[in-house]
Chain A
Amino acid sequence: MKSRFLFPHKWRLVGYCCFAATMVFAIALKLLHPEGYVYADLHQVPGSGHHLQPDTIIDQGTRWHNDIITSLIILGLVLIAFSKEKIEDEQISQLRLDSLQWATYLNYAIFFICVLFIYGVHFIPVLIFNTISPLIFFIIRFRWKIHLLNSPLRNEEENR
């Protein structure tokens, strides 16, 4: 059983760099505009009166950095998630498949709960977060399982 469609092992580093860059950018944005940069932009629109006009809000928020940040974070997470391990064997492939399915299930389960309990404008952040959450769940579970596999305690217990 061979793993296909995977990136070389070294590319994971690139992934981490992309992810770190996005995080730094997000934190910087948060420090510069604590109340949310979309609303900060809205204040600068002459005569906007801070009305909640959907088009204005979204358009003001949509700048070049939005595109770049979305692309970068997805690229980073995909590279982290789907880079080859140093040793790709049967067990790692099995873990990968399991984790991918598990992440999909968990993601949709959380999505159900959000659909039931969150309405209206507040649902938009749920949708946005939903684009990257499967990858995050996958990475966490895959890493955790590999950690368990590698931990010497576990190996000793199995040998007895």
Chain B
Amino acid sequence: MAHLNAELLAGHALGQTDELDAEQLKHVASCPQCRAEVDQLHRIVELGQEGPGPDTPPIPEQAMWRNIAAELSIGQAASPTPGPAPEAGVRPEPSQQTAPPQGRGGLRRGFLALAAAIGLIAGVGGTVLVDNLREPEAQVVASATLNPLPGQAGQGTAQLVREGETTQLRVSVTGQAPPPGEEYREVWLINTDGERMYSLGVLPVGGAGAYVVPAGLDDSLDGFTIVDVSLEPYDGNAAHSLNSQVRGTLPV
């Protein structure tokens, strides 16, 4: 018999075997081509099931936008990713649980401003003091080759450099830059747990940039060792485009 269509194979991979009749089930069991396709689709199901729990997906982003919108009093229109329709009744809105009580916001902001001012004074003073004592030496802690992803051109290097208290990632990518106005490139640190990432910033058109790595990560970057350079559309969406040009792992 003919091969099964993609949708039937997807159903099979999702455990919807009651959608197939006896002849179709027999075919899948004996046809290497259909079997391979089911296996591949099933691997995606497994990857999805291994992922983080149900609370992780887009909700933090939605909550963040809702809080920003609330603060600016601009209402629902500001949300770039509308949440599930209320009638779907899927789960309670977490933002309402996590939003700080309004009354304390002012106090907290005041405290933060004070803390920031103290930090600035201490920081400037501290830097001057350290500068007077010695020039910090830049030390390359780790470096990685960035290889192109399938279908992409280019090659790059990433160096993790410690200079005094600051850790920097120096990234250099050769190969054609995307046409300005269509796409730009962004540098990311992805965690090996596969669940978290930091955006370090925009890669200049020239292909070389240096980025301060968030302080507080340990010597092995707390697992944020995958350096990724993505191609980003000008869509104002802060999330990774999922379209990467080059990628490599720092051996730390």
Q: Do A and B come from one complex?
A: no
Chain B residues with a Cβ under 8 A of chain A = none
- A residues neighboring B (CB under 8 Å): none
